[in-house]
Amino acid sequence: MSTENALLTILTEKINNDTLVLPTLPAIALKVRKAADDPETNLNKMGEVIGQDPALTARIMKIANSAYLGRSVKVDTLQQAVTRIGLRQIKNIATALAMEQLFVSKNDVVKSYLDKLWSRTVDIAANAMAVYAFYKENPKKNKLLNMDSLTLAALVHNIGVLPILSEAERHEEVFANPTFLNVAIQKLSSRLGSAILNEWGFSEEIIEVVEHWRNIKYQTKEHSYLDFVRLGAALAGSIGSHKDDVLNIIQQKGIVQDLSALSSDEFAEIRDNAKSVFS
C-alpha cells in the first residue's frame, strides 16, 4: 500500500468509526455564540464577553474602524465597536475572526501548509466579500444573504483540512509530506468539513459551502453563499482550471452582470480593505 493510500485508509476508517478527533471552536467563539443566542444578552453583555479575550477585542476594534465598513468616525471603545457592528452580526463576525486560532502546528511542514492555507483562505474571503459589496446593488439580489454569514462561510469553507493535517502531525515521520496531504485533502476535506460544522451546529447553508465549493457541477437554484465563495476561490486561483467556467455560471445566474467590474480599481480597493481586516 502506498503511503498516500495508507493515510487515506487511516482517515477513512476513523471517519467511519467516528473516532477521528475533530477540531473544536476556539473557546471565545463558543462564548460569543452562546451569548448571542441568549435572548437576555444585550450589547453591554456582549461587550463584556468579547472583552475577556484581548486578541478578539483588538480585532473587533479593527473591523469596526476598518475602511471596509466605510465609517469615517473612529470608535475608541469596545462597546462602541460592538454597537457599530451590531448584536446580530457579532456572532458570525467574532467566530470568523477567531478562526485563525485553529491554523497552528508545531510541525514545520504542517505549519507551513497551514500558513499557506490561512493566507489562501483570507484571499478567497476577501474576494467573496468584495463581490458581495457589488451584489448589494443588484435589484435581483437574494435578500436572505448577509455579509457576516458570507464572511464566516468563506473562512470555514476549507475547515475539513484541519483534521487531516492533525493526523499527519501525529505521524509526521510518515505523512507530513505535501504530496500525501494534497491527495487526502482533495478526497476527504469536504466530508470532514461537513462533519465539523455539523458538530459546531452551523447552518445548512454554510455546510453546503464546505461540501460543494470544489464541485462546480453542483449549483443552487437561488443565489447562495456557495456562489460567492466559489467565485472568491476562482478569483484567488484556488479552483483549478475552472475559473472561466465559474465566471460564466456566475454571469448566467445574474450575480455579477458585468465581469469587467471584477478587475476594476474599485473592486480591488474593496477586496484589499476586506483582506486587511484579517491581516
**Residue 163 resides in a domain:** yes
Per-residue pLDDT of the chain (279 residues; tens, 9 = 90+): 465 567 677 777 887 887 877 888 899 999 999 999 999 999 999 999 999 999 899 989 988 887 666 666 788 999 999 988 888 888 988 898 888 888 888 878 788 888 999 999 999 999 999 999 999 888 889 999 999 899 999 999 999 999 888 877 777 766 656 677 777 788 888 988 998 999 899 999 999 999 999 999 999 999 999 999 999 999 999 998 999 999 999 999 999 989 999 999 999 999 998 888 887
**Residue 14 resides in a domain:** yes
**Residue 254 resides in a domain:** yes
pLDDT at 155: 94
**Residue 263 resides in a domain:** yes
CATH number at residue 137: 1.10.3210.10
Alpha helices in the chain (DSSP H): 3-16, 27-36, 43-50, 54-64, 78-85, 87-98, 108-135, 147-156, 161-170, 172-175, 178-200, 204-212, 225-235, 243-252, 265-276
**Residue 57 resides in a domain:** no
Crossing angle for the helix pair 43-50 and 87-98, nearest 10 degrees? 10
- Count of structural domains, the chain: 1
Alpha carbon distances (Å) from 133 to 46, 185, 189, 252: 27, 31, 29, 19
pLDDT at 67: 64
Q: What's the CA gap between 181 and 158, in Å, rounded? A: 14
Full-model pTM: 0.88
**Residue 66 resides in a domain:** no
Domain containing residue 141: 3-23+103-276
